[in-house]
Amino acid sequence: MENAREKVIVVGCQLPEMDDFRFENSMEELVSLTDTANGEVILRVTQKRDKPDSSTYLGKGKVEELRNLIEELEVDVVIFNSELTPSQLRNLSNQLQTKIIDRTQLILDIFARRAKSREGKLQVELAQLEYLLPRLVGQGTELSRLGGGIGTRGPGETKLETDRRHIRNRINEIKNQLSVIVEHRKRYRSNRKKKNTYQIALIGYTNAGKSTLFNRLTVAASYEENKLFATLDPLTRKLVLHSGFTVLLSDTVGFIEDLPTTLVAAFRSTLEEVAEADLLLHVIDASNPDYDQHEKTVNKILKELHAEKIPQLVLYNKMDRVHNDFVPTADGKVLQISALNLADRERLKRKIEEMMIEEMVQYEVNLPSTSGKLLARLKEETILRELKFLESDETYQCKGYIFAHSPLYGEIKKQNDGDGE
């Protein structure tokens, strides 16, 4: 049944604070999310309200209309564009007599499909169980309608009809396992810091083109697809800049507006890669009509991660398919690129070096021709701008930029002091 696409109606409630443009884009995003979860949207149902109905989300008349449409079109799933309360979910399920899921459950389902690593799978299961726990009260016959595809995939589904105590025990078990993984990740990051490795994180709204750029820059095999949440597990690779300086580049999970709170908590450790970075490359899809809102969403999440003060280079991507009304809105350092364009990627690498130089100090050192190892380190760990071999005294004259906290800077100073004696 994995390849059979379920017939879906998507439902949205437009509230006064959301204008038509934003609402239409949020419904478009829901359709994309449904497609990513292998569902086929056959109809959209929307309603304007001052606030959602506390018991059924939509008004009574709209629920009745929806019930008739479900029967007429033989719909498998109805997906709501907001997180439903446990009572709304229960009431709608009873009245519509079909599988009901909300935006949160849909995102959890996609994450369950995408998780590859042990950590990713555990985090998804934790988020699913924490979402399900309050929704198990009083649910009986509704649970039997939760079989099939969308919204029930992944480790969480086998726990649905078990008792709450069992679920709580499993939640604690997962948290313990994750704490071990988090500690391991911390040690790994700490070792990288000790080695003074410069770390860059690719961030951005889901489907902005981060993995495409990551693959082209590092010649890696990160999962790349024109679907939401194509990348879930963080991936880190070496990136060699023009000067030879080697940095670490991390690809991260795509951000999304109103990311379910259970997921924000569950993926905190994954997103810690971002908070530890020396530079953030914020990728924005310039072909998306709602690019401005995507940019704001990412910056809001960065604040929540206490990462808003990290130097940031904004990359407006997909300029080969740029939206007609596109106008750059970011402050600070900006590049307009297409990840598929080699010249643009080379410009990006030069810009990264420029931004690094702003934080570095200049050095000049003469190395004896026998200092091959030290010279190799200068090429990899500094931005070497000038290298001359002076035949008169058989030395290499090196000029460039280095981080003042680098142990190599101490060695350069020692070398210079030795020359002066």
Q: Indicate the annotated binding residues.
A: 204-211, 229-233, 251-254, 317-320, 338-340
Distances (CA, A) of 215 to 151, 250, 359: 30, 11, 27
Distances (CA, A) of 76 to 4, 7, 8, 40, 99: 11, 5, 6, 10, 7
Helix (H, G, I), strand (E, B) or coil at 235: strand
Residue type, 117: S
- Residue 350 near residue 375, CB atoms below 8 Å: no
- Residue 156 near residue 129, CB atoms below 8 Å: yes
If we measure between CA atoms, which residue out of 273, 268, 255, 267 comes closest to residue 199?
273
Query: Annotated binding residues for Mg(2+), as ranges?
Result: 211, 231
Distance between CA atoms of residues 9 and 77, nearest Å: 7
Across 147-178, b (16+ Cβ under 10 Å) vs e yields eebbbbbbbbbebbeeeeeebeebbeebeeeb
Distance between CA atoms of residues 148 and 161, nearest Å: 15
Distance between CA atoms of residues 241 and 249, nearest Å: 11
Query: Annotated binding residues for GTP, as ranges?
Result: 204-211, 229-233, 251-254, 317-320, 338-340
State the residue for tokens 């699913």: 128
